Amino acid sequence: MDFATSSPPERTAGPTTSVKIVVAGGFGVGKTTFVGAVSEINPLTTEAVMTAASDGIDDLSKVPDKTTTTVAMDFGRVSLDRELILYLFGTPGQNRFWFMWDDLTRGAIGAVVLVDTRRLADCFAAIDYFEDAGLPYIVALNCFDGHLSHNVEDVREALSIPGDVPIVTCDARSRESTKLTLIRLVEHAMSRFAAMR
């Protein structure tokens, strides 16, 4: 039988460093598919609860019908080396939950904005958010059926994406393709980092 007092002092074994990448885009664009394609675990869902209250009301106990909204987001995990884990967080489908986005993007390497070229407008909000936040991001056109409805430069123009932001094509179902997309984002984040020196 083992007694704790007889064990040698132990250091934490296993990973001690984590990083995260945000996967954003409109509802149904394939964020969870993208996360699941490269994750070593089945994507998990975590929830945050927001109490909807009007501005200027501080004491919620005085609000008779306080309503709560639950915001769910899916995430996955990729072990990169013995001590380093990458987490991939899909943004909540509904763009109005900005409070969650702040939590998601704080300290993130950057973001992949997944775009369905048949519904370009769906990703406006995400691109706006990352531009404002100064977070490195790339745009990934998800080719559901192997072809694009628009070419890359049309998309750049339509969405007013700055020239230094990479636009790539990907297949969110493919591990290799999502991996390459993530590599492109990290390279972009590194070049942004270097440029800011």
Partner 1 sequence: MTGGRTRARYQLAIEALVSTTPRGRTSGFGLMPEHQRICDLCVEVKSLAEIAALMRMPLGVARVMVGDMAEAGLIAVHQSNTTEGKPDLALLERVLIGLRNL
In the sheet that holds 17-25, the strands lie side by side as 44-52, 67-81, 84-90, 17-25, 110-115, 137-142, 167-170
* Residue 109 sits in the site that holds partner 1 (CB under 8 A): yes
Copy the structure tokens of residue 1: 């039988």
Of 148 and 180, the one with the shorter C-beta distance to partner 1 is 180
Of 82 and 147, the one with the shorter C-beta distance to partner 1 is 82
* Residue 77 sits in the site that holds partner 1 (CB under 8 A): yes
Distance CA 109, CA 19 (A): 7
Stretch that binds partner 1, among 8-16, 115-123, 125-133, 148-156 (CB under 8 A): 8-16
- Buried residues in 103-128 as b, exposed as e (16+ CB within 10 A): ebbeebbbbbbbbbbeebebbebbbe
* Residue 113 sits in the site that holds partner 1 (CB under 8 A): no
Query: Per CB under 8 A, which of residues 36..75 are in contact with partner 1?
Result: 38, 44-49, 70, 75
Question: Residue 129: which H helix or E strand, with range?
Answer: helix 124-133
Shortest separation between residue 65's beta carbon and partner 1, angstroms: 19
Of 64 and 107, the one with the shorter C-beta distance to partner 1 is 107
Which of 52, 57, 63, 84 is the binder for partner 1 (CB under 8 A)? 84
Applying CB under 8 A, the site for partner 1 has a residue count of 44
Of 75 and 116, the one with the shorter C-beta distance to partner 1 is 75
Question: Residue 126: which H helix or E strand, with range?
Answer: helix 124-133
Task: Give the torsion sign (CA, 170, 139, 84, 18).
Answer: negative
Which of 4, 59, 61, 121 is the binder for partner 1 (CB under 8 A)? 4
